[in-house]
Amino acid sequence: MTDTAPTTALTTQVYRVWIKATPERIWAAITDPEWNKRYAYQAPSYFELTKGGSFHATATKEMKDYAAANGFELPETILDGEVLECEPPRRLVQTWRMLMDPRTAAEPFTTLTYEIEDAKMQAGVCKLTITHELAGAPETAAMVAGTEDEGAGGGWAWILSDLKTLLETGKNFAA
């Protein structure tokens, strides 16, 4: 028998993008709310960049308006977690939980790792790798995989593409 289950439930998802930017600029774009509110879902994310520090992202007005127009309530904090490792500007490991949907909020925390490396093939380019460990969190796995057809958005691939666009052009997809 052939298994035809969707791949969105994979317990480990890995995403990579090469960005023409320094490790410091990429790090800032990930960890500084003045940067991270400028791409992807534009929800500012706040980090206490020390082992045991907190992480959370807050809903934007547009997100709240969309939720209200579609008959559901959105919490103020839409993501939360804890910093497990912090090695600026190269590595960040954190727990991560999506609170904006009751199905994902009921799942356990997942583990998200950001790694920023100098690209070997070209000076001035860095490779950003995101590894998301999603054991026991199939709803979250589907969301971060980018199942647009199921209303989940573009997931990590879309977020990284918009981050790359912003850092290289100064404009995000919405501009």
Burial group, residue 55, by CB count within 10 angstroms (0-12, 13-18, 19+): buried
Q: What is the domain count for the chain?
A: 1
Asked whether residue 108 is domain-assigned, the answer is yes
Residue 71: pLDDT band (50, 70, 90) is confident
Decide if 1 is inside a domain. no
Q: Is 161 helix (H, G, I), strand (E, B) or coil?
A: helix
- Per-residue pLDDT of 44-59, as tens digits, reads 999 999 999 999 999 9
Q: Tell me the sheet residues that pair with 54.
A: 82
Specify the CATH number for the domain of residue 47. Answer: 3.30.530.20
Q: How many angstroms separate the CA atoms of 133 and 19, rounded? A: 23
Q: Report the candidate in 14, 21, 4 with the shortest Cα–Cα distance to residue 141.
A: 14
- Report yes or no on 74 lying in a domain: yes
pLDDT tens string 83-122: 999 999 999 999 999 998 889 999 999 999 999 999 998 9
132 in a domain, yes or no?
yes
Instruction: Give domain status of residue 5, yes or no.
Output: no
145 within domain boundaries: yes
Q: Is the pTM of this model over 0.85?
A: yes
Residue 62 belongs to domain spanning: 10-169
Classify residue 4: in a domain, yes or no: no
Q: Is 3 domain-assigned?
A: no
Strand order through the sheet with 12-19:
12-19, 126-133, 110-118, 91-98, 77-87, 54-58, 45-47
Examine the pLDDT at 151 and tell me if it is beyond 70. Answer: no
The length of the chain in residues reads: 175
